[in-house]
Structure formats: structure tokens, C-alpha cells
Amino acid sequence: MNRPTLQDVLEARKTISPYVPRTPLHSYPALDQLLGATVRLKHENHQALGSFKVRGGVNLLAHMSEEERARGVVTASSGNHGQSIAYACRQFGAKAVICLPEGANPLKVRSMRNQGAEIVFHGKNFDESREHCARLADERGYRFVHAVNEPLLIAGVGTETLEIIEDFPEVDCIYVPLGGGSGAAGACVVAKAINPNIKVVAVQSAQAQGGYLSWRNRRLTESPMGTAAEGLATSTGYQMTQEILWDLLDDFILVDDDEMKEAIGILIDSAHTLAEAAGAASLAGAMKDQVNIKGKNVVVIVSGGNITIPQLRSVLDQYDRT
């Protein structure tokens, strides 16, 4: 598989523009004061599906052959990637089968069903669902879509960083959540091609360090997975995104679930915006990295907003900045 390039991202923008709107990049004085920096939020939580992943799904399905679409598409997801594929399959007339871990976010499950996808629950986590998904592809002849190792997915989600740099060319540093790594890899591809001085920092859960350890060790590494942030709930690194990160990523920060909860509360309180745990991870990472961003121009990617009512209650019960 060929790694995506900036040219691939530019072409992806043309492809997805009829289906995926440009998202806003907003400033909030309270966040500037909190971080001691000039801060912008990239509002991927404003996407109709509540996640940046829709960019990749549409780009991938748009480039599939009629034969591939006719076979049907199967993929595994912790939630937002599955929404992306379900939506794209509906737009391009393909059957979608989504394998999810038991106990998947019900908002995301409902969204996938509303898009017409067939839902298959299997396993306790994303990686167990992914293994079952590959078996289904072999047994039934579906076109298997890996949630991470697909260049067209990475090129599609890279369009969010293209928009960031167009709207805020003075940006010094971009913080991006990392689960499988497509968002971080896409950010690296775009930022380093346009301005190598832009620092890209990935943020992952301290309770699911597979991506971080793979980056640190420069080889794919597994790690126990115990985070409640389903968008970050992967137990290993993945080849294509890790190869990009090994070459281009500047830094990596780990945050725990309580730090993500605090960041969700801050986003509500200071920016009037709703994020799921993975979507707030980048702010949690920037908060831990304040010493390195003081006085700089910083973008925090709010990658998703699909938080459930019980999850939100848990955040509000814990959060108190009166």
C-alpha cells in the first residue's frame, strides 16, 4: 500500500466536498487564558455524524469500483469509523456491514442503523471485532475495509488539517487525538508538506497505549486496553499510520480518563461545545503540555461529539470549576 501524500489530500477534498462540509475553526478567550496561548478549536464535532471520520469514509467509497460496491463492504469499528462507512455506503449504494464490540456507544450504533447498515456485535474491544470482521469478509466475499490501513481513509481525514492551515496559516502546533492513528497521520502528511515547522502532537489514553508504544519503540506493539474513551480504545499500533508517525510525528502525550473528563467539562464551560472523551483528548494533551505552548498559536482538534447522556452525567458530576 502506498502512503498518502499532500496531493492525495488535495484530491480528496475535491472528492468529498459535495458530501462533507468544511468545519469551523473558532477561538475562545477562556481557552487562551487557560493555556497561555492563542488557541483555536477545529470543530469536527460539528459534522453531521459528529466525527471527523466521515471525511475518510466518503473518500474511500467514492474511489471504490462498482464491483467492490456490489459485493458489499464490511469493516470493524469502535463507533465513529463505522458511522463513516455506513454513511458513505448509503451515498454510493453499497451494503454496509459493521462489526462492533459488545457495549458499543448506543448513539453511534443507532446512527449506523439509521444509515441502513447491518450491525454485528462481536468481542469485548475493537481488535476482537476487527478479527471477526476479517473472517466475515473471507466467508461472504465482502470488500474488507481496514479501519486504519487504507490510504484513502487517511487522505480523506487529512482534509481537516488542510482546512486548519488555510484558515490559520500562523499555526505553530496541532494537537490531535490518536486511536488507530488516521487523524494524526493525516495531520502529519499535510502539515509537514506545507510547513515542516508546524509541530504535530498525538494524544492517546494512558489506559490504551498501543499506539504510543508502537511509536516509541518504532515497531508495532500491543498494550492492555482499559480506557472508557471508545474512540481511543485500541490495543496496538497499525502499520500504515505508524510508518507515517515514525517519520513525521513530533511528540506524543498520554492522558488518563479523568483528564479527558475534565477537558469535556472545560469545553462545555469555556467553549460552549460538546465533545466525547476522544474528542476532548487533544485539549487534555495541550493542558499537560502548557510549558511548551506558552505564547504560541495552537490548534486543538475536537475530533468528535458523540457522547451519551450517561457519559455526560458522569462528567458533570465530577466537573466543578465554580
> Residue 233: what pLDDT?
87
The arithmetic mean of pLDDT across residues 266-272, rounded, is: 96
Domain count, the chain: 2
pLDDT bin (cut points 50, 70, 90) of residue 76 is: very high
* Candidate list 42, 51, 53, 261, residue with the active-site label: 53
Integer Rg of the chain from CA: 18
pLDDT value of residue 127 = 81
Verify that 107 and 159 share a domain, yes or no.
no
C-alpha cell at 146: 481496514
107 vs 113: CA distance, rounded Å: 10
**248 and 108 together in one domain:** no
Triad 11, 14, 18: Cα angle to 5°? 150
Which of 99, 118, 149 terminates a domain? The answer is: 149
Is 229 part of any domain?
Answer: yes
Per the residue annotation, which of 77, 78, 205, 303 is the catalytic one? 303
In a domain, 172, yes or no: yes
C-alpha cell belonging to residue 189: 502528511
Paired strand residues for 236: 222
Set of cell numbers at residue 33 = 487564558
Taking the alpha carbons of 154, 160, 166, 171 in that order, is the dihedral positive or negative?
negative
Q: What is the residue range of 173's domain?
A: 6-51+152-318
Domain boundary among 112, 128, 149: 149
Give domain status of residue 285, yes or no.
yes
Q: 244 and 199 in one domain? A: yes
Residue 221 belongs to some domain of the structure: yes
Same domain, 82 and 140: yes
Residues whose CB is less than 8 angstroms from the CB of residue 179 and which lie 6 or more positions away in sequence, other chains included: 78, 204, 208, 211, 231, 232, 233, 234, 278
| Residue 322 clears pLDDT 60, i.e. is over it | no
Integer angstrom CA distances of residue 6 from 190, 191, 244 = 6, 9, 13
Average pLDDT over residues 295-315: 95
d(CA 244, CA 184): 9
- What mean pLDDT comes out for the span 12-33? 98
Domain end: 149, 166, 196, which one? 149
20 and 103 fall within a common domain: no
DSSP H/E element including 175:
strand 173-177
Q: What percent of the chain has pLDDT over 70?
A: 99
Q: What is the pTM of this model?
A: 0.95
Q: What is the mean pLDDT of residues 248-267?
A: 97
Q: How confident is the model at residue 103 (pLDDT cuts 50, 70, 90)?
A: confident
| Residue type at 15 in one-letter notation | T
In this prediction, residue 89 carries a pLDDT of 97
The mean of the pLDDT values for the chain is 95
Whether 209 is covered by a domain: the verdict is yes
Give the pLDDT confidence score for residue 137 in this predicted structure: 92
Q: What is the mean pLDDT of residues 84-88?
A: 96
Residues 118 and 210 in one domain: no
Please state, in angstroms and as integers, the Cα–Cα distance from residue 124 to each residue in 12, 132, 234, 277, following that order. 34, 12, 11, 19
168 and 23 together in one domain: yes
Residue 1 placed within a domain:
no
How far is it, in rounded angstroms, from Cα 209 to Cα 38? 29
State whether residue 12 is helix, strand or coil.
helix
Strand 25-27, strand 38-43: pairing: antiparallel
Residues 130 and 270 in one domain: no
Residues near 21 by beta carbon (within 8 Å), at least 6 away in sequence:
47, 48
Same-domain status, 47 and 134? no
Task: Tell which wins on pLDDT, 206 or 320.
Answer: 206
Residue 118: CATH number of its domain:
3.40.50.1100
Check residue 273 and report its DSSP letter.
-
Are residues 36 and 75 both part of a single domain? no
Which triple of cell numbers denotes residue 61? 467509497
124 is catalytic: no
- Residue 321: helix, strand or coil by DSSP? coil
Look at 272 and 1; give whichever has higher pLDDT. Answer: 272
**pLDDT tens-digit profile of 137-180?**
999 999 999 999 999 999 999 999 999 999 999 999 999 999 99
Question: What are the helix and strand counts (H, E) for the chain?
Answer: 16, 10
Q: Do the Cβ atoms of 282 and 266 come closer than 8 Å?
A: no
Whether residues 111 and 247 fall in one domain: no
How confident is the model over 196-225, as a mean pLDDT?
97
Per-residue pLDDT at 321:
60
Q: Are 262 and 191 members of one domain? A: yes
pLDDT of residue 253: 98
Q: 3-class DSSP state for residue 275?
A: coil
Which set of grid coordinates corresponds to residue 149? 490501513
Tell me if 55 sits within 8 A of 20, measured CB to CB.
yes
- DSSP letter (8 states) at residue 28: -
Is 294 a residue of the active site? Answer: no
- Read out DSSP for 50-118? SBTTHHHHHHHHHHS-HHHHHH-EEEE-SSHHHHHHHHHHHHHT--EEEEE-TT--HHHHHHHHHTT-E
